[in-house]
Amino acid sequence: MAKIKYILLIAIPFLLFFLIASTGCAWAVGPSAAHDLPDLIRVVAPLDFCGEPVPLQTPEVRERLERELLISLGNRPQVILWIKRASRYLPHIEKALKENGMPDDLKHVAIAESALRVHARSVAGATGLWQFMEGTGLRYQLKVNSERDERLSFFAATASALNYFKELYALFGSWTLAAAAYNMGESGLKAEMLVQKVDNYYRLYLPLETQRYLFRILSVKLILSNPARYGFHLKAEDLYAHEPFDPVEITCPQDTPIQLIAEAAKTDFKAIKDLNPDIRGYYLSAGTHRLLLPAGSADGFQARFTTLSNQWLADRQTHVYTVRKGDNLSSLAERFGVPLQALLIWNRISAKEPVKPGDRLVIFPNRMP
């Protein structure tokens, strides 16, 4: 029986593909009923990246570009999400590029890197919309610690990515090589150029990921520059908007629950975390922080925050429990009728940390809404 199930598991996808393809379903065999794939991937020169010509007359270059176009078009749901998310993020990136005197094409790097997913994380640990490794993020003034990870902040990470690209362009004198270095690191690219005695991206033998990298960016550029050509017909109301926000500066006299900030902003915990994905955990540490609040929340926020903060401190003092002999976290959670995870969050401890007599724990009553 197990063997039969295995054979069916392998065979069914192929049968389904054959049946769908034989019916001529447009979504199965190509992006549009009006075009076939060979037509769609036929790119007519000139094509450039940041004003630097792509040598389409070289057969190997054309093949690499067509391969990435086919791969991109083969995942139509992903491309639809590119287009929908682009309206949320690209206007700010375009504005920042223009203000810095940098080529508009660099905006497509963010899509190739993360599909415009702020929480994207690679197997290697690259994080955020611009996929910064921790070391590179720190080098470009992004905070990465137990409390904040600004690689997840769209605005901070975008500013750092542009600064990184400026330095790479100054180093290599080419935006194409700068993009390759962004992918594989400047030291690695410099080494390959030195050893191979070649300073042209299209003629360099590089790690396979980097050999594909620029062509992935070009496929994004081609599709987003003319979505209708590739069978994507989205209306303005289909696109995702960037949520409006109010920037505020807040000073926390002590570690402060994010839920308290949400209450002061007259919103929910989720709204604060969504607008500030770089905040780790459930608390802001003592000190001054810059936050984004939902639009309209800044009015009267500071006064509400001060009042709520004082109330929370007073309430907290009345819900301190001193651990006794025989107590453990699970038994205390059960005795007070609260989830163990809530107990851990209130006290910022791990379930693996044993409690001992004399320890003081904050245990709020079960106040479900």
Task: Say which CATH number the domain at 331 has.
Answer: 3.10.350.10
Residue 43, pLDDT score: 87
**Would residue 44 count as lying in a domain?**
yes
Residue 35, pLDDT score: 52
**Would residue 253 count as lying in a domain?**
yes
Name 149's bridge partners.
Answer: 144
- Torsion angle of the four alpha carbons 266, 267, 268, 273, in this order, in degrees rounded to the nearest 10: -120
Are 188 and 300 in the same domain? no
Are 53 and 109 in the same domain? yes
**Would residue 19 count as lying in a domain?**
no
Residue 17, pLDDT score: 42
Are 306 and 288 in the same domain? yes
Are 206 and 96 in the same domain? yes
Are 148 and 167 in the same domain? yes
Residue 367, pLDDT score: 72
**Would residue 53 count as lying in a domain?**
yes
Name 362's bridge partners.
Answer: 320
- In the predicted model, residues of the chain with pLDDT beneath 70 are 1-35, 368-369
**Residue-wise over 217-249: b if at least 16 C-beta within 10 A, else e?**
bbbbbbbbeebeebbbeeeeeeeeeeeebbebe
Q: Of 214, 238, 262, which residue is a domain's last?
A: 238
Q: CATH number, domain at 50? A: 1.10.530.10
Pair of tokens at residue 91: 């206007």
**Would residue 4 count as lying in a domain?**
no
**Would residue 347 count as lying in a domain?**
yes
**Would residue 331 count as lying in a domain?**
yes
Are 304 and 199 in the same domain? no
Are 123 and 256 in the same domain? no
Are 249 and 229 in the same domain? no
Domain of residue 346, residue span:
320-362
Residues 6+ apart with CB under 8 A from 14: none
Are 285 and 254 in the same domain? yes
**Would residue 5 count as lying in a domain?**
no
Are 225 and 82 in the same domain? yes
Are 91 and 233 in the same domain? yes
Pairing of strands 245-252, 283-284: unpaired
Pair of tokens at residue 164: 């990184």
Residue 37, pLDDT score: 79
75 neighbors 135 (Cβ within 8 angstroms): no
The number of domains in the chain is 3
Q: Of 185, 212, 238, which residue is a domain's last?
A: 238
The answer to whether the pTM exceeds 0.95 is no
Are 97 and 55 in the same domain? yes
Residue 19, pLDDT score: 43
Q: In the chain, what percentage of residues exceed pLDDT 70?
A: 90
